[in-house]
Every structure is written in C-alpha cells, then in structure tokens.
Amino acid sequence: MKFNLEYLEKLANIVYDNDLSEITLEDDEQALSIKREKPQQAAIAPVVMPSTVTSQVVAPQAKPAIEQAKPAAHKGKPITAPMVGTFYSAPSPDDAPFVKVGDNIAIGQVVCIIEAMKLMNEIEAEASGQITEICVKNGDSVEFGQVLMYVE
C-alpha cells in the first residue's frame, strides 16, 4: 500500500470531520496512524458591563447572624503521608487496625500502611504518645504530606 498526499489529506479530513482522536491503517508491509490532539480550551467568563449607573438608597437592615465555622483544633503532632498512595489501617482486611483513637504508641511503631505502586510501605510513628485523631479512612487515597493522624 503506497500513501500519497491526497490520500493522507482525505484521512486527516475524516478524522477532523468525524471528531475522531485517531485512525490507524495497517497492512503486511507498513502501518499509518493519524492522531489528532484536541487543544485545551480555557474557560472564559463573560464580562458584564453595566449599561447605565444608577444610584439607589437602601434602608439599613439587621444583619443576619452568621455563625462562622471555626477550624477544628487538632490536638497533638501530625503524622503525615510520606508518599502518594492508598491508606490501609490494618495489615489485611481481616486483621485489627494498627492503631485506634486513644491508643498509646511508641516511636518506631507501625501505625498504618500506604500502598504505592503495588508496594506496601509501613508508616512508623515519629513521636510517642496517644492517638487523638485519625483523619483518613481505610482504603482512602492520600497525597504526599497529607495528615493521616495526630499524636499527643
């Protein structure tokens, strides 16, 4: 199969007209693949300009009482994820968790496992004390530096 410019242009038009991302042709001697990369479109917010400016006097109203949520005060030192992966609180689904809220732990004690790229990485405590809060659930995805739990 020999490809000429006109044939290639027709294939490119088929890809474009049908909003395809790729087309591939093969025979025993050669292969041809035409890929279309779609440009990323930036979200453009319309700007609304007022056509006229008006002045209006508004009677003062009582402000509604809005209670702002205060960030929860975490007690203790955070144990953070040293890598991206999946958090596991126990060595296997049938086993008890490594630690629970209220447990006392020692430096170097395994507190959880983070699976990354099919490897199970034991996470050890860097401080001794009592677990005051566990911030992630078993099976949750965690990011590098994300707080896993607090130790006081």
Structural domains in the chain, sorted by start: 5-35 (no CATH), 77-151 (2.40.50.100)
Give the DSSP H/E element, type plus range, for residue 11. Answer: helix 5-17
142, 87 in Cβ contact below 8 A?
Answer: yes
Are the C-beta atoms of residues 121 and 61 closer than 8 Å to each other?
A: no
pLDDT 10s digits, 94-128: 999 999 999 999 999 999 999 998 899 999 999 99
Q: Which residue has the tokens 């025993």?
A: 28
CB 85 within 8 A of CB 116: yes
- pLDDT at position 82 is 94
- Structure-model confidence comparison of residues 61 and 109, the more confident one: 109
pTM of the predicted model, to two decimals? 0.52
Question: Is residue 91 scored above 80 in pLDDT?
Answer: yes
Q: What is the mean pLDDT of residues 4-16?
A: 74
- Please state, rounded to an integer, the average pLDDT across all residues of the chain: 79
pLDDT confidence of residue 101: 94
pLDDT at 7: 73
